[in-house]
Amino acid sequence: MKILLTMVLCSSVNQSCLQPITYPEAYADSFSCMVDGYERAYNTTIELGADEVNKNGLYIKFGCGQVIVPVPKPKTGV
């Protein structure tokens, strides 16, 4: 099982959100995913800057979800 991080940037002014972004890196556990989610949300907020965040009422939501990776089928000779 893998844990994947998904983030969404939303605007309270426009009452809408952009399409979610799911990062391709898999995490070993939920804790690692959450810590990275907070770090990425923090860094994105800093990059956007106070003016943009305040003007558009921006906020970031994120979640860490489990994904079950199917076991590969055995290859058979032809």
pLDDT digits (tens, 9 = 90+) for 18-69: 999 999 999 999 999 999 999 999 999 999 999 999 999 999 999 999 987 6
CA nearest to 27, candidates 10, 5, 46, 48: 5
78 pLDDT higher than 70: no
Q: Which residues pair with 6 in a beta bridge?
A: 22, 63
Q: Do the beta carbons of residue 37 and residue 7 sit within 8 Å?
A: yes
Report which of residues 1 and 4 the model is more confident about. 4
Q: Do the beta carbons of residue 62 and residue 6 sit within 8 Å?
A: yes
75 pLDDT higher than 90: no
72 pLDDT higher than 80: no
Report which of residues 71 and 6 the model is more confident about. 6
